[in-house]
Amino acid sequence: MQRHVIRHVAVAAALFAMPATGALAQAAASAPASPAVHAALTTNTALRGALEKTFDEGQINMLHAVAYQQAVARTCAGFTIDPKRFEREMDLVYDDAKGQPKTLTADEKSEIEKKALFGFGLAYGAQLAIAAFDDKAFCAAARAERKDPPGGHMVWADAK
């Protein structure tokens, strides 16, 4: 049972960080999903639908990744957030698709910040809910990820 739950929580965390694609939706529809996987897929779809007109794929993925890591830091012992890394990543919402800072009016900047905060909050809340299904499995998956990080957008402080 424990191994089964760990697998579903790890799958949910991984699915949440993946872009929503036809293949992903088709795979999810072809097999019964655990509540954690269902939560991840539903949130992913909602988040992308709410943010796709404001943020590019990379920015949405960054919000996913940073929110997940924040949820891990809140849920799991031994994880903290590096404030400078967090700020650096969150500042990406102000860049264009080429990674260059956009020239924004105060109103445009305010709108971007509101949407980024909404997206971060939605993703963070979903990750906390996924962790609640089995926090031990959630934290075990995070510890494994820390040993072999997937790439960019890492905001965890270095392990001590």
Q: Is 72 helix (H, G, I), strand (E, B) or coil?
A: helix
Q: Where are the domains of the chain?
A: 2-147
Backbone angles phi, psi at 156, to 5 degrees: -65, 140
Q: Looking at this protein, which amino acid is placed at residue 113?
A: E
Per-residue pLDDT reduced to its tens digit, 76-132? 999 999 999 999 999 999 998 888 999 999 999 999 999 999 999 999 999 999 999
Per-residue pLDDT reduced to its tens digit, 21-50? 444 455 555 666 788 888 888 888 999 999
The token pair that represents 49 in the structure block: 């639908």
Record the pTM: 0.78
| Alpha-carbon torsion, ordered 4, 10, 11, 16, to 10 deg | 150
CA 106, 108, 110, 112 dihedral sign is negative
